[in-house]
Amino acid sequence: MGDVEIEVSGTLTHQQPLETSNKMFQLPMHISLSSPAAREWIGQRRENVRPWPVFLSTSNFRAPSSIPRLSKRIVKNIEYFQSNYLFVFCGLVVYCLITSPLLLIAVAASLGACYILSLKNNERKVILFGREISLAQQYGLIAICSIPVFYWAGAGAALFWVLGASFFVVTLHAALYNIDAVLTPEEERFDLVMENV
């Protein structure tokens, strides 16, 4: 084989480090509801909520004909009803908080302490041992101090109950709900095209 010459020439330029040149790749220190990303995500979840009468329609509940059909149905239902399932999860969290007064008091106390700290930080910065403590560090300190209170109030059991109940309800609905009866022919065609690719 003959010799092949490849010309590799050009100029190198110095670029600024990633953290200063591209702000898009920086992670925010905290995400609050005033954050545009959080508001956009919540807005998308609200827009994607399917009508509740369709979600709860008992006429669409049927047992799947086979195991492969069951797995496809679960995946389709989770994709189609994901915002509804998120609201089911939030409803179970609220139910758990309402039925556990100690846990409700512990959560209210922690959130109240965080709110008071945010008000105090607007007035003046907190300095401890000659060093300024950021608001995120103060929130972390409140979280660490709240762990024994949450443990005493039964937060661990409540968390596992909410996760287990959500998993059970979502899986049961996704397995038994016949999504094919709900999808319009246009959505079905799009879904078939996506499967063939």
CB 107 within 8 A of CB 121: no
Q: What distance in Å separates the CA atoms of residue 128 and residue 54, rounded to the nearest whole number?
A: 56
If one counts the domains in the chain, the total is: 1
Q: What pLDDT score was predicted for residue 170?
A: 95
Structural domain including 143 reads 69-196
Nearest residue to 81 (alpha-carbon basis) of 55, 107, 61, 106: 55
Q: Is residue 96 part of a domain?
A: yes
Q: Is residue 109 part of a domain?
A: yes
Q: Is residue 187 part of a domain?
A: yes
Whether the model clears a pTM of 0.75, i.e. scores above it, the answer is no
Q: 48 or 6: whose pLDDT is higher?
A: 48
Q: Is residue 3 part of a domain?
A: no
- pLDDT tier at 187, thresholds 50, 70, 90: low
Of the chain, the percentage scoring pLDDT greater than 70 comes to 75
Task: Reply yes or no on whether the pLDDT at 11 is more than 90.
Answer: no
pLDDT digits (tens, 9 = 90+) for 129-157: 888 888 888 899 999 999 999 999 999 99
Q: Is residue 20 part of a domain?
A: no
CB 182 within 8 A of CB 54: yes
Q: Is residue 121 part of a domain?
A: yes
